[in-house]
């Protein structure tokens, strides 16, 4: 415990020293999402590295409370292992990056996996955080109880903040039980038919926990009580996917061949019923609310952006630096983002949120 | 200061009169009387004026005028809030969103609805019912409360454990900032780049902006719901049973506990069929397909019996299910019948601390010489102790206040929070000082400044100034005085 507090103090004093000397700090977790590292934006060649790896471990876990409290640098895979033993899971199913992804980085990158459309995102499961901000102050927001409306919700605000607000040193998360039964069925469908099926089946209360359309096939993972999964299978037919766990793990970790060239992918977040954009090699997941499109040229990317803006969604280059993704927001929201950032990090210790 | 007020008042009222429809501006005490308080009725004040825009353009123009004149704005939905969040300020314009009440769109395939902020919570579910969908968060005032107010308060309900709070069921909001700019936070899809400003806006109690449109997630309506009613010989056994249900991998749609003082009060009132000899009762609801419900209920019943329930009854019809719920939903008014006055507290605790907290409350009850009934959203640890007193007896009000303060401090001490779902408002503003450090409170003030540089939106609510951090305050509901929305269920 003392060693742990020493580590926190080291981070605090490093930040304070950087603030005093006008230097920058770069937070690094497991290094599984290097594009978040702001290399260009932050001029990080001279940045002090704040490694969270040593801030690891489960602080508190009582399955019957449905709450787990972990340190910010704890690997997601490790958290899942501990929870699985108690029959529970991180329901937002974040990528684990072969054990490298940390929970702090998962919050910072708002990373959620296949179950997101049906169970919720990482932000939906965050109950509270401890954060060391750009002044070196240790602050706690939220808590470790299910319902808490005291004060502004700053623990969820940091989801998607990409290390620009502070070091996430502790996270309390809501846990859910593992489903009793799971079965994946496959359907040969074109994109339009797949979108219809994803949307209608969910709206008709089928027990769905993931949907992905890729290579002309729709993969639907049914999960829940055994009788409910059986009833869904009887209702929807389809072909049983053998080795489904591995297939979903590959999809979740983006090891599926579709993700072979991540730099060429556009990530499109939109209303689930938006028509699919023709003429692109694409995959659809999250019930239609998340689309991945291969767009290698600037012209292709412009087409995707145009289509997405018309649909009131957001299109970002996958693995783009954080500041580039913010360009998708309106000038007013960007201004709000910059003002919030200035409150957490008045000396500009962490990477900037406006392109220099 | 006085001169300044005199000089700018007429011009602001003139500006507002020009912006708003003929009956959209109330300036006389008689016309403003209905707006003098929200559900926390002992805090009352008349505002400077009441503005009732009918369109977003009008609402934005009102904000711009107030911003230019540096006059504060208190936003109000239906005024059903329980923490005084919409209590007017004599120096401020009261901005009502109640007339922005259009359901703009329902997309049944995408399971979402776009609505204006004045649409009532229940009206969304009613409109979605034709598609087999509903809006899941169900605060007890849902027949009257508006979705704009729900977003401002991050409202809950009795089905939160499984279906989440408002923050889990809102996809996007359009928000007018105090300078009149309008921003969209969130996305009709599932995420937007950058900080989670949608989460920050949800539950910000009218301090950061005014919601002008809400895109909510709709949930497929479960085909069946069934409730188990279990009696326990001790409160500890009932608390342990809740832990066992969760340990069995069950997340019930609803999980509620009441102690004997509460069950006796409601039995006399609504005859729900509760076992009044039991030290505590549990209500555990399951919903889903008939197959799922049958499977889950069988497991729930087994767990309840193993946990020492002296009696377990399963609802056999929809009428019986609603009757079992009626007792729980009438706990507040039933308490009002057996005591001239009561305070309702709203702390949340880690569930395992329940026996300790209930024992402590029992000891406090003796110490202060006041009765206390306990109703409890057991699944998510949200306690509603109802402290009974008689304000006409000298000293009882003060004792009740001290009693409540001690309960909330205990909630914080065991790792919980001072408010699970009613909000801070003005009611619990002093207790924020117990829960947050000066640095954390300062950060909240700084965040407010990032949205509202001059502190014009709902000033003095939700986040205390550091020098205010002193004593405690809490909600008082008096049977003697007319309470707004007295006809609503409160739980």
- Classify A171 in phi/psi space as left (phi over 0), alpha (psi -120 to 50) or beta: beta
Do A56 and A196 have their domain in common? no
Same structural domain for residues A169 and A186? no
CB B421 within 8 A of CB B382: yes
Q: Give yes or no: residues A270 and A123 share one domain.
A: no
Averaged pLDDT, B319-324: 95
Tokens of A320: 């783009």
Q: What is the pLDDT of residue B397?
A: 86
Nearest to B243 among A64, A140, A332 (CB): A64
Give contacts of A324 with chain B, Cβ < 8 Å. Answer: none
A294 or B82: which carries more pLDDT confidence?
A294
Of the listed ranges A83-92, B1-10, B276-285, the one predicted with least confidence: B1-10
Nearest to B195 among A143, A160, A207 (CB): A160
Q: What is the pLDDT of residue B10?
A: 60
Are A146 and B153 in contact (CB < 8 Å)?
no
Q: What pLDDT is attached to residue B205?
A: 98
| pTM across the whole model | 0.94
CB B154 within 8 A of CB B164: no
Shortest distance between the Cα of A184 and any Cα of chain B, in A, equals: 19
Q: How far is the first Cα of chain B from the last one, in angstroms, to the nearest whole number?
A: 44
pLDDT tens digit at each of 356 positions of chain A: 689 999 999 999 999 999 999 999 999 999 998 888 764 444 445 789 999 999 999 999 999 999 999 999 999 999 999 999 999 999 999 999 999 999 999 999 999 999 999 999 999 999 999 999 999 999 999 999 999 999 999 999 999 999 999 999 999 999 999 999 999 999 999 999 999 999 999 999 999 999 999 999 999 999 999 999 999 999 999 999 999 999 999 999 999 999 999 999 999 999 999 999 999 999 999 999 999 999 999 999 999 999 999 999 999 999 999 999 999 999 999 999 999 999 999 999 999 998 76
Tell whether A109 and A211 lie within a shared domain.
no
Same domain for A241 and A280?
yes
B193 touches chain A (CB under 8 A): yes
How many CB atoms lie under 10 A from the CB of residue B466? 11
**DSSP count for chain A of H helices, then E strands:** 13, 17
The answer on A309 and A251 residing in a single domain is yes
Give me the torsion for CA of A194, A196, A197, A198, rounded to 10°.
80
A255 and A306 together in one domain: yes
Contact between A63 and B246 using a beta-carbon 8 Å cutoff: yes
Total domains in the fold of chain A: 2
Domain span holding position A90: 2-177
Residue A147 inside a domain? The answer is: yes
> Among B153, B202, B443, whose Cβ lies nearest the Cβ of A139?
B443
Residue A333 lies in a domain: no
Last residue of a domain, one of A177, A212, A246: A177
- Which of A134, A152, A177 terminates a domain? The answer is A177
Per residue in B241-265, pLDDT tens?
998 999 899 999 999 999 999 999 9
Residues A260 and A126 in one domain: no
Whether residues A135 and A254 fall in one domain: no
Same domain? A146 vs A207:
no
Backbone angles phi, psi at A187, to 5 degrees: -135, 130
List the CATH number of the domain containing A59: 3.30.465.10
Does residue A277 belong to any structural domain of this protein?
Answer: yes
Q: Does the pLDDT value for residue B283 go beyond 80?
A: yes
Please provide the average confidence, as pLDDT, over all residues in chain B: 91
Q: Is residue A346 part of a domain?
A: no
Is residue A349 domain-resident?
Answer: no
Is B193 within 8 Å of A344 when comparing Cβ atoms? Answer: no
Confirm whether A340 is domain-assigned: no
A350 is a domain residue: no
pLDDT, residue B484, reads 45
More confident residue, B400 or B100: B100
Minimal Cβ distance to B109: which of A123, A180, A200: A200
pLDDT of residue A354: 86
In a domain, A339, yes or no: no
Per-residue pLDDT, averaged over B408-416, amounts to 92
Q: For the residues B98-110, what does the mean pLDDT come to?
A: 97
Least confidently predicted of B18-32, B206-220, B307-321, B468-482: B468-482
Among residues A177, A202, A217, the one where a domain terminates is A177
3-class secondary structure, A185: strand
Q: Do residues A188 and A295 both lie within one domain?
A: yes
Using the Cβ of B349 and the Cβ atoms of chain A, whether some distance falls under 8 Å is answered with yes
Per-residue model confidence (pLDDT) at position A356 = 62
Residues A100, A155, single domain; the answer is yes
Is A330 in contact with B183 (CB distance < 8 Å)?
yes
Residues of B (283-302) whose Cβ lies below 8 Å from A: 288-289, 291-292, 294-296
> Cβ–Cβ of A145/B420 closer than 8 Å?
yes
The residue in chain B having the minimum alpha-carbon distance to the alpha carbon of residue A273 is B110
Give every CB contact of residue B257 below 8 A, 6+ residues apart in sequence. B238, B239, B242, B280, B281, B282, B283, B374, B375, B376, B378
Local confidence band at B6 (pLDDT 50, 70, 90 cut-offs) = low
């Amino acid at each position: 415990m003392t060693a742990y507090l020493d580590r926190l103090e080291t981070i605090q004093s490093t930040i304070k020293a950087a603030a005093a000397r006008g230097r920058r700090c770069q937070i690094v977790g497991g290094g599984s999402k290097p594009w978040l590292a702001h290399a260009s934006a932050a001029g990080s060649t001279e940045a002090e590295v704040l490694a969270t790896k040593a801030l690891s471990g489960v602080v508190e876990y009582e399955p019957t409370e449905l709450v787990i409290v972990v340190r910010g640098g704890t690997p997601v895979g490790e958290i899942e292992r501990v929870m699985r033993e108690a029959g529970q899971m991180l329901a937002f199913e974040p990528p684990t990056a072969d054990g490298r992804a940390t929970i702090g980085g998962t919050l910072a990158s708002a990373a959620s996996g296949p179950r997101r459309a049906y169970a919720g995102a990482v932000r939906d499961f965050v109950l509270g955080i401890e954060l060391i901000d750009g002044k070196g102050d240790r602050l706690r927001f939220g808590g470790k109880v299910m319902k808490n409306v005291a004060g502004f919700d700053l623990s969820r605000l940091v989801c998607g903040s990409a290390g620009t607000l502070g070091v996430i040193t502790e996270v309390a998360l809501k846990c859910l039980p593992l489903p009793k039964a799971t079965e994946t069925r496959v359907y040969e469908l074109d994109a339009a038919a797949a979108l219809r099926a994803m949307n209608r089946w969910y709206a008709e209360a089928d027990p769905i926990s993931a949907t992905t359309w890729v290579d002309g096939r729709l993969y639907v993972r049914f999960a829940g009580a055994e009788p409910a999964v059986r009833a869904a299978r009887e209702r929807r037919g389809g072909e049983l996917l053998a080795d489904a766990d591995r297939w979903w793990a590959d999809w979740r970790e983006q090891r599926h061949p579709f993700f072979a060239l991540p730099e060429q992918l556009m990530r499109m977040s939109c209303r689930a019923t938006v028509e699919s954009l023709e003429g692109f090699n694409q995959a659809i997941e999250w019930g239609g609310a998340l689309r991945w499109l291969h767009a290698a040229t600037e012209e292709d990317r412009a087409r995707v952006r145009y289509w997405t803006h018309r649909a009131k969604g957001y299109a970002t280059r996958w693995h783009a630096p954080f500041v580039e993704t913010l360009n998708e927001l309106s000038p007013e929201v960007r201004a709000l983002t910059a003002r919030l950032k200035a409150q957490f990090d008045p000396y500009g210790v962490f990477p900037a949120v406006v392109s220099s | 200061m006085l001169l300044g007020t005199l000089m700018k008042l007429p011009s602001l009222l003139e500006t507002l009169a020009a912006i708003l429809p003929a009956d959209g501006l109330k300036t006389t005490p008689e016309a403003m009387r209905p707006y003098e308080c929200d559900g926390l009725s002992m805090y009352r004040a008349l505002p400077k004026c009441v503005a009732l825009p009918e369109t977003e353009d009008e609402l934005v123009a009102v904000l711009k005028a107030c911003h230019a004149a540096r006059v504060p704005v208190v936003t109000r939905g239906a005024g059903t809030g329980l923490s005084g969040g919409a209590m007017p300020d004599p120096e401020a314009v009261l901005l009502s969103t109640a007339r922005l009440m259009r359901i703009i769109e329902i997309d049944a395939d995408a399971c979402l609805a776009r609505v204006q902020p004045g649409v009532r919570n229940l009206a969304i579910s009613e409109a979605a019912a034709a598609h087999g969908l509903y809006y899941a968060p169900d605060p007890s005032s849902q027949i009257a409360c508006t979705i704009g107010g729900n977003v401002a308060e991050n409202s809950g309900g009795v089905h939160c454990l499984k279906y989440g709070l408002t923050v889990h069921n809102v996809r996007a909001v359009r928000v007018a900032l105090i300078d009149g700019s309008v921003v969209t936070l969130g996305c009709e899809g599932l995420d937007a780049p950058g900080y989670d400003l949608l989460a920050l806006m949800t539950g910000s109690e009218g301090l950061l902006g005014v919601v002008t449109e809400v895109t909510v997630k709709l949930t497929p309506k479960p085909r069946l719901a069934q409730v188990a009613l279990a009696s326990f010989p001790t409160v500890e056994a009932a608390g342990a049973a809740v832990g066992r249900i969760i340990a069995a991998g069950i997340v019930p749609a609803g999980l509620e506990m009441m102690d004997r003082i509460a069950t006796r009060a409601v039995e006399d009132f609504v005859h729900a069929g509760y076992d009044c000899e039991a030290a505590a009762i549990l209500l555990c609801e399951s919903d889903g397909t008939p197959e799922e419900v049958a499977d889950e209920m069988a497991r729930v019943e087994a767990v309840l019996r193993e946990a020492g329930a002296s009696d377990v009854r399963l609802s056999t019809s929809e009428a019986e299910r609603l009757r079992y719920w009626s007792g729980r939903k009438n706990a507040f008014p039933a308490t009002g019948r057996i005591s001239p006055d009561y305070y309702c507290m709203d702390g949340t605790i880690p569930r395992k601390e329940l026996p300790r907290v209930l024992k402590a409350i029992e000891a406090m009850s003796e110490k202060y010489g006041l009765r206390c009934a306990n109703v409890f959203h057991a699944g998510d640890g949200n306690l509603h102790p109802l402290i009974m007193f008689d304000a006409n007896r000298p000293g009882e009000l003060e004792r009740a206040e001290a009693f409540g303060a001690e309960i909330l401090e205990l909630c914080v001490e065991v790792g919980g929070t001072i408010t699970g779902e009613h909000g801070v408002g003005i009611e619990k503003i002093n207790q924020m000082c117990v829960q947050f450090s000066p640095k954390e409170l300062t950060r909240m003030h700084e965040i407010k400044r990032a949205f509202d540089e001059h502190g014009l939106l709902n000033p003095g609510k939700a986040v205390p100034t550091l020098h205010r951090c002193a004593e405690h305050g809490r909600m008082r509901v008096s049977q003697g005085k007319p309470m707004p929305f007295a006809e609503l269920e409160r739980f």
